[in-house]
Amino acid sequence: MLIACQETAKQQDDLSSQTPAEQGASLYSMHCAQCHGEDGKLGASGARDLSTSKLSDQDILHIIKKGKGAMPSMKALLETDQNINLVLSHIKGLRR
């Protein structure tokens, strides 16, 4: 568990060398994919399928910051509004 945490911290440090799209994808893999899956469709712990989500940017930002049902707030993990916006762009790219 400790090792996993250290790796996450390291990955987050490495983000500065990535493009914004890559940063969004990395942040999503680190913080969202365990419930939503890399493609958004996993649905673990009752998570919604992000590829069919029709929510507005405003609603998505609200859910990321405040959480909803079994989804905890992701604000502390994502750290900055900039990171939150990168993840927002990434998950909208998962829509078909």
Q: 24: closest CA among 94, 74, 83, 65?
A: 83
**Near ligand HEC in 24-83, by CB under 6 A:** 31-32, 34-36, 45-48, 50, 53, 55, 60, 63-64, 68-72, 74, 78
Distances, alpha carbon 13 to alpha carbons 17, 23, 63, 83, in Å = 9, 11, 25, 13
**Near ligand HEC in 2-31, by CB under 6 A:** 31
CB of 20 to ligand HEC, least distance (A): 15
Q: Which helix (H) or strand (E) holds 78?
A: helix 75-78
Interface residues with ligand HEC (CB under 6 A)? 31-32, 34-36, 45-48, 50, 53, 55, 60, 63-64, 68-72, 74, 78, 87, 91
